[in-house]
Amino acid sequence: MGNLKIKNVTIVTPVGREAVKGDRMGELSVIPKGYIIITEGKISYAGSMEDAPATRPDEHYEEIDAQGNVALPGFVDSHTHLIFGGFRPDEFQWRLKGDSYMSIMERGGGIQSTVNATRETSVEELKKKAQWFIDRMSEMGVTTVEAKSGYGLDSDTEIKMLDAISELANEPDQKVELIATFLGAHAVPKEYAGRTGEYVDLIINEMLPKAKGKAKFCDVFCEKNVFELADSKRLLQAAEAMGYSLKLHADEIVTLGGGELSAELGAISADHLLHISDKGISMMADKGVVATLLPLTAFALKEPYAPARKFIDVGAAVALATDLNPGSCFSGSIPLTIALACIYMNMSIEETITALTLNGAAALDMAHEIGSLEPGKRGDVVILGCDNYHILPYYVGMNCVKTTVYAGKIVSQNP
């Protein structure tokens, strides 16, 4: 936890302690000539320089002169598959030649390929690889990362992945907060081919109890020919009864009804949603389920983008995340996520900032403690190398972040 003052800064932030919905996503608080004081890791003041309170002379504060540049809340990457063994560049080449995601999966590639590698990878090796990605994320302004299991598909490896996340999260000099999600239902492992129901039984009876306390959320890849609605529902209901909060991979490949299921179950978020129905959009909006959209994945798969405008126009809360994973989206690029959201999903930059900060926090049930630059929240700040936040989509795919602050400590600085 650090003590830090940031002066001569233009503060740009959404406001609130819950998800911002609908057209309110475009409303940001902008304070020119601002001043931010972070005391013991939490924001104690964020306002104009002329109204800033004095601090006690016996308290030491590091100081940054932002020279009029923009400060945003730390970015929240609320959907990643950060922990995995191996890589799959050959499959990317297959997709470039026209093979579909599902056809690659059916021929033994896809998730099962990474499962095979992850089962053979030690906790220390998993941590070392993930830390490299965390360092890159921090350079792009990310201060909170959701990390899923799901490349084990057996009890031992799923727990190994969650242990790697926990050990990384507790590193003394970690640059981000890590939030763990259990995703044992990421695919049906080859040893359970044709016996999906039995594999769901294994998850419920063995994996979920072992993962309890190691993961905040339970997620499921709710998709045709993977985990369809009935199995997804009984798995998530069992997880909720054990104390997990709920997430879904929903309506990514076909229109199945995952969005509707997320609303029925009161999930925190439903993610992907490329092929969600209008009914599903309305139900999610009515029930307050955060729509976490992943434009990098649509880009990498050459699929239509999720209907961000439909969600916003009916009053839903939209979050954005990268979906960093070794298969369908080998990228954790926040700059490209921003550009795709603005250019191809017709989101304004203000909506995009809200989606990557406060609404990303809401997708992790953390909007009360992170996601905006307000007193009482953790001191996570992104300082751009520019005095105009509109540079974010304009400088396409390029990193505009100069300084990243996590809990009042400077954790990354770019030239």
Number of domains in the chain: 2
Q: What gap in Å lies between CA 379 and CA 74, rounded to an integer?
A: 8
Q: Are residues 62 and 115 in the same domain?
A: no
Domain boundary at 327, 344, 362, which? 362
DSSP class per residue in 19-41? ---GGGGG--EEEEEEEEEEETT
Q: Are residues 192 and 332 in the same domain?
A: yes
Q: Are residues 38 and 107 in the same domain?
A: no
pTM confidence score: 0.97
Q: Are residues 257 and 378 in the same domain?
A: no
Q: Are residues 149 and 30 in the same domain?
A: no
In percent, the amount of the chain with pLDDT more than 90 equals: 91
Band of pLDDT at residue 257, cut at 50, 70 and 90: very high
Residue 378 gets which letter from DSSP?
A: B
Q: Are residues 386 and 282 in the same domain?
A: no
For range 140-151, the mean pLDDT:
98
Domain range for 269 is: 76-362
Type and span of the H or E element at 280: helix 278-287
Q: Where are the beta strands (DSSP E) in 205-351?
A: 217-222, 245-250, 269-272, 290-293, 318-320
Model pLDDT for residues 291-321, shown as the tens digit of each residue: 999 999 999 999 999 999 999 999 999 999 9
Q: Which residue in 350, 258, 321 sits closest to 22, CA to CA?
A: 350
Q: Are residues 59 and 87 in the same domain?
A: no
Band of pLDDT at residue 108, cut at 50, 70 and 90: low
374: which 2 tokens?
Answer: 């307000």
Q: Are residues 206 and 137 in the same domain?
A: yes
Q: What gap in Å lies between CA 271 and CA 308, rounded to an integer?
A: 12
Write down how long the chain is.
415
What pLDDT does residue 186 have? 97
